[in-house]
A and B are shown apart, each in its own frame.
Chain A
Amino acid sequence: MDPSQIADPIITGLLRGGLYALMALGLALVFGVMNIPNFAHGDFYMVGAYLAFFSFTAFGLGPILSIIVAMFGAFILGVLVEKGVFYTLRKRSKKNWVMNTFLLTLGISIVLQNSVKMLFGANYRGVTAFWPGTMQIGSINVSIDRIVGFLIAIIAIAGFWVFLSKTKVGRSIRAVSQDETGSQLVGVNLNWIHTLTFGLSCAVAALAGASLLSITPASPGMGLTPLYKSWFVCILVGMGNVGASIWGGLLLGILETFAYMQFGAGWQDAISLAVIILILLFKPSGLFAKKGVKSALE
């Protein structure tokens, strides 16, 4: 077998997977810390793409600045949503929390998606390229945008890792994810941590959406695919396992590329769905199950 036959899908898969990992990171964070299975994660990705599109085309900001604007916009939106919806529910009742918040995020997703559709219409809005040009890796040509997107994902993930393990706020977030009551006892402000976590998760999703703008143009329904892909990754590695979601993302990227090359377009989703169903059946706690991390089992 020709070595490039193996190497090419792996390279494409890795480039694809970096952004899946970034998306999954946000989802895992919110699930781990707040116990919210976020169904609206893909819509913050979409909001990020729209914000980047308008800052890039209408306001003529540079690519980097557009992506930063998208991140901040989504962060603020996330904070508002947390304060308006989840904080209200937490005050009222914490009974059946996981299922109730799941439905709430569903409502948020519908509202966000359709508000965007109403404001900007259903047509695609994309840019040809943030950074025009292609690069030769091995035997395939890859657009610079994909490589920059991958680099952004790696930098963001590394930044997150430093933030979570080295700073005081990051440690508080991890403390809350391990034990809410315990963290309150040592003086962590729970409300603040929850709001911050949700905002950060939205910002990360928007970052992914913004940096992929030239590859997947902005449209109201664009969030569904990244949403279920990040769900896949989280289930693949074990829900709420923030560290392992990086490997899961890369793995899914490679898996999809192989499926695409073997069976043709359209089938890669069916294949990855089949894989995830098998994972849920035979290893519901995920590939990298870790003690203390919530699992899919009762």
Chain B
Amino acid sequence: MEKKGTFDISRLNGYLGKLGLKPLGFLLIILLAVIPLIITDQFWIRLLTSTLMMAALAMAFDFSAGFININNFGLAAFWGLGAYTSGLLAVNLGLSPWLGMLAGALAAAVLGFLVGLLTLRLSGIFASCMTWFVALALMALTTNWVELTRGSSGLSTPYLVDSLSNIPYYYVMLIIAIGVLILLRVITNSHIGMAFKAIGQDKQAAEASGINFVKYRIFNMTLSCALAGLVGGFYAHYTGVITPTMMHTSNTVEALAICYVGGRGSIWGAILSAFILVPAMELMKGMMEVRMIIYGVLLILVMLVYPAGLAGLCNALYKFMKDKGLFRKFGFVSKNVTGRS
């Protein structure tokens, strides 16, 4: 019999399960929320903010790559589109950066919808190429349309908040990242996620079992691009200056590498690997080449040796501990706990 008002870990577990979280993940989120109270060094706060930003981008990437099997090779351009939409609206029309972020997401969503619509007939790899070509075209356009975007000299944008401290930005980004995580986890844990996976594995079999291919694929592309645009809108008002190089393929590659190292199709693996890779890379500042080589080698190794990535590693570890009964031993309730997907 459970008494009213007592703390019940399995009920908490149930609530978190609906949000696609696990108790450990929840603890880590709380930890992230209190970090600015402990670490006040601006450098670390900025680093954590950019880590969260890369994590959010990698999650958006994973939503397409890990489920419907389309590597959105133009993700950086959608990110850049969000940033430029928000930045230009703020500079030319004086729109508030907060609304600008939403406008950025909307612009990226519209383009994502169009690209999704246009690539419906194409198979995975060509759809990826198409997104890449759209991204290259968008970057060329941004660079050459100097009257509007100021070209490669960059566009100065107003800041999101009137503060010298980086902590408000950190919290905004944290909320965005957690929002993205929960949203994507909820979607992918539902029947929609199943439909995505079915489409990604075998289009014909999925259609034969009554899955509306058109609806799900377009929905996936649109949402993934919209999230990238939202993060882009934040970025524009965080750095204060945006240049067309943010649309460069190398930024997509970074998100891609983080997503794959984290484990394709897990969503949360992207956060984990972002928190390992981005700070590690930042500490090697000035050695950009070494950084990229490490990304490349990691990508090759993950693909060749352990395609499940960090998320797969954690799941294997979790399963191992559960099989040995280690959780019960340490007093964790294991009734409702199932392995992370």
Contact = CB atoms under 8 A, between A and B. Distances in A.
B142 to A, nearest CB: 10
A266 B144 contact: yes
A274 B137 contact: yes
Nearest to A103: B303
For the complex, would chain B's binding face be called helix, strand, loop or mixed by DSSP majority? helix
Interface in B117-133: 118-119, 121-126, 128-130, 132-133
A284 B292 CA distance: 34
Interface string A254-298: 000000000000110110011011001100100000000000111
B299 A110 contact: yes
Given A106-B299, A118-B290, A298 B129 contact: no
A284 B144 contact: no
A296 B118 CA distance: 13
Interface in A85-110: 85, 88-89, 92, 96, 98-100, 102-104, 106-110
Given A103-B260, A298-B122, A92 B304 contact: yes
Interface residues of A, number: 41
Contacts of B124: 98-99
B123 A298 contact: yes
Given A99-B71, A106-B253, A269-B140, A115 B293 contact: yes
Nearest to B292: A114
For the complex, would chain A's binding face be called helix, strand, loop or mixed by DSSP majority? helix
Given A296-B123, A298-B122, A114 B144 contact: no
Contacts of A85: 300, 304
Interface residues of B, number: 40
Nearest to A224: B249
A78 B123 CA distance: 27
A270 B289 contact: no
A274 B134 CA distance: 8
B203 interface: yes
Given A99-B71, A104-B300, A266 B140 contact: yes
B300 A270 contact: no
A50 to B, nearest CB: 15
Given A106-B299, A114-B289, A231-B129, A269 B304 contact: no
A107 B292 contact: no
Given A113-B292, A115-B293, A37 B125 contact: yes
B292 A106 contact: no
Nearest to A264: B144
A158 interface: no
A248 to B, nearest CB: 15
A254 to B, nearest CB: 20
Contact of B126 (A228, A273, A284): A284
A270 B144 contact: yes
Contacts of B288: 114, 117
Nearest to B252: A106
Interface in B135-184: 136-137, 140-141, 143-144
Interface in B285-299: 288-290, 292-293, 295-297, 299
A277 B132 CA distance: 10
Nearest to A263: B144
Given A104-B300, A108-B296, A298-B121, 4 more contacts: A107-B299, A110-B253, A114-B293, A269-B140
- The 4 residue pairs across chains A and B that have the minimum distance between CB atoms: A110-B296, A296-B126, A107-B299, A111-B296
30 contacts: A37-B125, A88-B304, A96-B69, A98-B124, A99-B124, A99-B128, A100-B307, A104-B299, A107-B297, A107-B303, A108-B296, A109-B296, A110-B293, A114-B289, A117-B289, A118-B289, A118-B293, A224-B249, A228-B132, A267-B140, A269-B137, A269-B140, A273-B140, A274-B137, A277-B137, A280-B119, A280-B130, A280-B133, A298-B121, A298-B203
Interface of B: 69, 71, 118-119, 121-126, 128-130, 132-134, 136-137, 140-141, 143-144, 203, 249, 253, 256, 260, 288-290, 292-293, 295-297, 299-300, 303-304, 307
Interface of A: 37, 85, 88-89, 92, 96, 98-100, 102-104, 106-111, 113-115, 117-118, 224, 228, 231, 235, 266-267, 269-270, 273-274, 276-277, 280-281, 284, 296-298
